[in-house]
Amino acid sequence: MTQTPLKKKPAGLGRGLSALLESAESENTGSNAISLGSIAMIPISNIEANPFQPRTDFEPQALEELASSIGIHGVIQPITVRKMGGDNYQIISGERRTRAAMMSGLTQIPAYIRTANDQGMLEMALIENIQRSELNAIEIALSYQRLIEECSLKQEELGERVGKERSTVTNYLRLLKLPDEIQIGIKEGKISMGHARAMINLPTEEHQMALYRDIIENKMSVRDVESAVKEKKQNPEKDFGLITGTDWDPEIDRITEEFHRRLKSAVHLKNGSKGKGKIVISYKNREDLERILDLIHEI
């Protein structure tokens, strides 16, 4: 697959849409002022690749999957660019995201904009703003990631800078490995960092997304999620989307076994609160579904 090269054309600079991190120092570009550490939407046509980028090959399928995700959710993690002459920029980090954004049809991309010699001020601005209470867990994680990637800090050094244990830094950074939809859910307050930390221990994105939907639908607590993840590890074959944090009493087990005996198929009882619940019957194909339907008619 031939990958689309990053082009460079004259175009106007977009105004900053949000200020995740702000600083007293700003760079004036025409009538716009972009704060150091802020996020601005910039035209992809004005961005050029970093000539010192060590990675030149990007796996086509992974790039297409990212492009598909971006088409649905947008670019979750802004790229970082260096201001060049005029309205042109050079990528510091995020070339893969930029290529995927182009593939998805976007013409602009959110970016942190840096000047050539702002390393020290960037570090100070990021560390200062990480302390802000209004930042959500994903915003903090992105700030930690920037400090590591752009200021060449190790996790131990970062922990010392921000007054956190290395394990705390690691827990935040791991949030960025969750599917985009879950990251958005954290930003929007649909789930807490405690929920997310438990979900990270699941083996696949499919399992993570199944549990994410379960958390929202059943308003599961963090303890419920931890119990569900533990149960999944102990019983990997169990359909994760049907796991809840509620206790399974003997009567539920008895009824489940009776369903299985009569239908000769996997049956899961999803036990909710206030005595409510769901019955989910698994089938292998259309013929098996018809067989189960006939059995239900006979009961």
Within 13 A of 80's CA, how many CA atoms are on the CB side? Answer: 19
Catalytic residue among 22, 95, 160, 165: 95
Please state whether beta strands 89-93 and 47-48 pair in parallel, antiparallel, or not at all (unpaired): parallel
Answer yes or no: are the C-beta atoms of 40 and 89 closer than 8 Å.
no
Nearest to 146 by CA among 38, 15, 63: 38
Q: Are residues 237 and 278 in the same domain?
A: no
Query: Cβ contacts of residue 107 below 8 Å, gap of 6+?
Result: 43, 44, 45
- H helices present in the chain, as ranges: 60-73, 95-103, 119-130, 137-150, 155-162, 166-174, 180-187, 193-199, 205-218, 222-234, 250-263, 286-298
Judge contact between 48 and 90, C-beta under 8 A: yes
Contact 79, 6 (CB under 8 A): no
86: number of Cβ within 10 Å: 11
Same-domain pairing of 43 and 62: yes
Give the distance from CA 265 to its chain's centroid.
35
**Three-state secondary structure call for residue 81:** strand
Tokens 């827990």 -> residue: 171
Q: Are residues 255 and 133 in the same domain?
A: no
156 an active-site residue?
no
Residues 185 and 212 sit within 8 Å (Cβ to Cβ): yes
Whether residues 62 and 199 fall in one domain: no
170 within domain boundaries? yes
pLDDT of residue 62: 85
Do 55 and 73 share a domain, yes or no? Answer: yes
Could you list the pLDDT tens digit for every one of the 299 residues in the chain?
445 556 543 333 233 223 333 332 344 344 344 555 578 999 999 998 876 554 556 788 888 889 999 998 899 889 988 888 788 888 877 888 999 999 999 999 999 887 756 666 667 667 766 766 678 899 889 888 888 887 888 888 888 888 888 888 999 999 999 999 999 999 999 999 999 999 998 988 888 998 999 899 888 889 888 888 888 877 766 655 444 444 445 677 678 778 877 888 777 776 665 667 778 787 778 888 888 888 888 76
Q: How far apart are CA 185 and CA 241, in angstroms?
A: 18
Amino acid 106: pLDDT: 94
Residues 129 and 238 in one domain: no
- Among 222, 242, 262, the domain-final residue is 242
- Which residues sit opposite 109 in a β-bridge? 42
- Helix, strand, coil percent values for the chain (each to nearest 5): 50, 15, 35
| In a domain? residue 229 | yes
CA pair distance 179, 227, nearest whole angstrom: 21
List the domain range (segments joined by +) for residue 138: 26-174
The predicted structure's pLDDT at residue 182: 93
The pLDDT value recorded for residue 160 is 86
Answer whether residue 39 is part of any domain. yes
